[in-house]
Amino acid sequence: MTKDPGTLLELFSSLFGGAPSHVARAPGRVNLIGEHIDYCDLAVLPMATQHEARLEFRPREDGVVRITNTDPEFDLVEFEIGPAIAPGPPGDWRNYLQAPANELARRFAIWRGVEGVLSSDVPVAAGLSSSTALLNAVGLALAHANEVTVDDAEFAGLMAGAEQYTGTRGGGMDQAISLGARAGHAARITFEPLRMRHVAVPEDWCFVVADTGVRAEKSGRAQTEYNQRRSECEEALDAVVQFALLHGRLPTTPGGYPDLLRMIGAAELMSWAEDVLQGRLLRRFRHVVSEAGRVEQAVDCLLNADLAGFGTLMDASHGSLHSDYQVSSRELDELVAIAREGGAAGARLTGAGFGGCIVALSDRGTVGAVLETLVEQYFEPRGIGHRIDDRLFVAVPSAGASVGILP
Ligand code: NG1
C-alpha cells in the first residue's frame, strides 16, 4: 500500500477516538480472458492483483456505519444499517458502502455497525474492480462484526447481488475472484452454482497491465452501454431459443447460455443464430459464444504453459470485443497494438472496456521490452512517462480477501 499508516491511524483517532481493532482487505483483479460473459453465466478466467482496498475498523454497539477514506476526494459517510437504505446519487462512493450493508440486512438480522478508515490503491474506473474491492472489504467487515457465517460461494453471491444496488447489472466474476483468489493462481470461475478452479500461473509468465487513462465511470455512459450489452445478450438468447423450440430443434427449454451450449455445441448454435439474428444482436451473440470457447482453450494453455497459444487467444478476444461487442476505444486499440509491437504474445482490453486498461502477456525475457515500448509510444508522448507506476505494472497473481484482528 502507498498510504502512510501513521496518517491512517491519526485520521481514525481524530474521528472516532482510539484505534481500529480489525482490518478487512480485498484485492482488485485483472481478467485474463472471458470478457462480458460472466453475466451470461459462462466461465471466465481472472486473477486477483497486488492492489487492494483496506478497511481498518472497529465494530460498534449500534447499527451506525461511519467510514471515511484516506483519499480526501471522498467525504465521511454515515448511515444506519437496514434492508432498504436509500442510495445516494449515481457514482457517489457512499453507494459502495451502503450496498453490502443493505444486502446483508436483507438476508440476516445484522444490527452492529462499524467505524473505520478505508484506503485503496486499486486504480479507479480502470476495469480493475476498484468498486468491488471496496464493496467486498466493507461487506467482510460487517459480516465479521455481526458474526455472519456463510460459505464463500454464498458470500460472493451476496456481494454480487449487493453490487446491483449501485445501478450496474454486472455479473459475479469480480466479487468471486476478489474474495476467493489464491496467490500464484488465476481461477476459472463458473456460475449457477458458483465454482472456482484455481490454475497456477507459470512462474515465467508476466501479465502487463496498461491504463489508457480514459476513465470508464460506471455512473455514466459506460454503465448505460454495459447494461445495454447485457440486455442485448438476453434478447439474442431468447430469439435463438424461441426459434429452436418452434422448429422442434430443442427437446426442452435451456436454462441459459451454458445449458444451450451444452445441448447444441458452438458450431451448430452459430449456424442457427445466423438464420435468426441480424446486425447488432448477431454480433453480440457471436462474441459470447466464441469467447466462451476461448476461455476453455485458454485454461488448457495455462495448464500446459503454452504462452504463444494463450497470447493468440487474447488477440482473438480483443478482435471480438472490438468488432462484435463494440466495447473497445481508440486508446485501447492503440495500447494493444503497441504491446504487440513491443513483443507481447498477445494483448486485449480487460474489464468492461469503453476506456480503462489492457492486459498483455509476455515472458520474463521480453517483459522489459514490452514495458519500454509502451512507455515510449503511449505514455511519454502524453507527457506522463515519469509517473506511471499505477498506470503500467506487471500484475502479481495475489490472494483473495481476508478479515482479521489487528496486532
Ligand atoms: P469492471 O470493468 O471491473 O467494471 C465489469 C463487471 C464484470 C464483468 C466485466 C466485463 C461489475 C462490478 N463488473 O467489470 O462483472 O461483466 O465488466 O467482463 O459490474
pLDDT in tens, 353-394: 999 999 999 999 999 999 999 999 999 999 887 778 889 999
Asked whether residue 3 carries a pLDDT value surpassing 60, the answer given is no
Ramachandran angles phi, psi of 72, nearest 5°: -60, -10
* Separation of alpha carbons 319 and 326, rounded Å: 10
How far is ligand 1, taken at its centre, from the CA of residue 319, in Å? 19
Q: Confirm or reject: Cβ of 291 under 6 Å from ligand 1.
A: no
* Separation of alpha carbons 20 and 14, rounded Å: 12
**Distance from chain centroid for Cα 176:** 9
Q: What percent of the chain has pLDDT over 90?
A: 91
Q: How confident is the model at residue 2 (pLDDT cuts 50, 70, 90)?
A: very low
Q: How confident is the model at residue 219 (pLDDT cuts 50, 70, 90)?
A: low
Ligand 1 atom at shortest distance from the alpha carbon of 170: 19
**Distance from chain centroid for Cα 274:** 31
Average pLDDT of the residues of the chain: 95
How far is ligand 1, taken at its centre, from the CA of residue 173, in Å? 7
**Distance from chain centroid for Cα 213:** 18
Q: How confident is the model at residue 327 (pLDDT cuts 50, 70, 90)?
A: very high
Spot the catalytic one: 174, 211, 324, 363: 174
* Separation of alpha carbons 21 and 287, rounded Å: 47
Cell matching residue 190 = 463458473
Q: Output the pLDDT for position 216.
A: 78
Q: Output the pLDDT for position 212.
A: 96
Cell matching residue 59 = 465494530
Q: Output the pLDDT for position 382.
A: 92
Q: Confirm or reject: Cβ of 352 under 6 Å from ligand 1.
A: yes
Which residues have a Cβ under 8 Å from the Cβ of 306 and sit 6 or more positions away?
300
Confidence (pTM): 0.96
Q: Output the pLDDT for position 390.
A: 85
Is the CB of residue 36 less than 8 Å from the CB of residue 99? no
Specify whether 152 is catalytic. Answer: no
| Burial of 109: CB neighbours in 10 Å, binned 0-12, 13-18, 19+ | exposed
